[in-house]
Amino acid sequence: MATAITTVAQSCAAAQRASRELGGAPIEVRNAALEATARLLGERTGEILEANAADLADGRAEGLTAALRDRLALDEARVAAMAEGVRTVTALEDPVGEVLDRRRLESGLELTKLRVPLGVVAVVYEARPNVTIDCAALTIKSGNAIVLRGSHYAERTNGALAAIVREALAESGLPEDAVTPLAGGGHEDLAELATQEDSVDLLIPRGGEGLKNALNEVATVPVIYAAAGNCHVYVNADADLEMAQRIVLNAKTQRPGVCNAAETLLVDAAVAAEFLPAALAALRDAGVELVGDERARELAGGVEIGEAGERDWATEYLDLKLAVAVVDSLDDAVEHVNRYGTRHSEAIVSRSAEAAERFTAGIDAAVVYTNASTRFTDGFEFGMGAEIGNSTQKLHARGPIGLRELTTYKYVVRGDGQVRE
Where is 108: in which H helix or E strand? none
pLDDT in tens, 333-386: 999 999 999 999 999 999 999 999 999 999 999 999 999 999 999 988 998 888
pLDDT in tens, 325-348: 999 999 999 999 999 999 999 999
- Of 316, 358, 56, residue with least CA distance to 210: 316
**pLDDT score, position 185:** 65
Q: Is residue 386 part of a domain?
A: no
Q: Looking at the structure, do residues 178 and 272 belong to the same domain, yes or no?
A: no
What are residue 364's phi and psi, to 5 degrees?
-100, 95
Q: Is residue 13 part of a domain?
A: yes
Q: Looking at the structure, do residues 269 and 151 belong to the same domain, yes or no?
A: no
Q: CATH number of the domain that 190 lies in? A: 3.40.605.10
Q: Looking at the structure, do residues 66 and 201 belong to the same domain, yes or no?
A: yes
pLDDT in tens, 54-63: 999 998 888 8
Under 8 Å between Cβ of 264 and 293: no
The pTM for the full model equals 0.85
Where is 313: in which H helix or E strand? helix 310-313
Q: For 202-232, b where at least 16 C-beta lie within 10 A, e where not — what string?
A: bbbbbbbbebbebbeeebebebbbbbbbbbb
**pLDDT score, position 5:** 56
Q: Is residue 387 part of a domain?
A: no
Q: Looking at the structure, do residues 252 and 370 belong to the same domain, yes or no?
A: yes
Q: Is the pLDDT of residue 1 over 50?
A: no
Under 8 Å between Cβ of 150 and 181: yes
**pLDDT score, position 184:** 66
Question: Where is average pLDDT lowest: 38-47, 122-131, 232-241, 285-294?
Answer: 122-131
* Domain carrying residue 254: 231-376
Q: Looking at the structure, do residues 207 and 101 belong to the same domain, yes or no?
A: yes
Q: Looking at the structure, do residues 270 and 362 belong to the same domain, yes or no?
A: yes
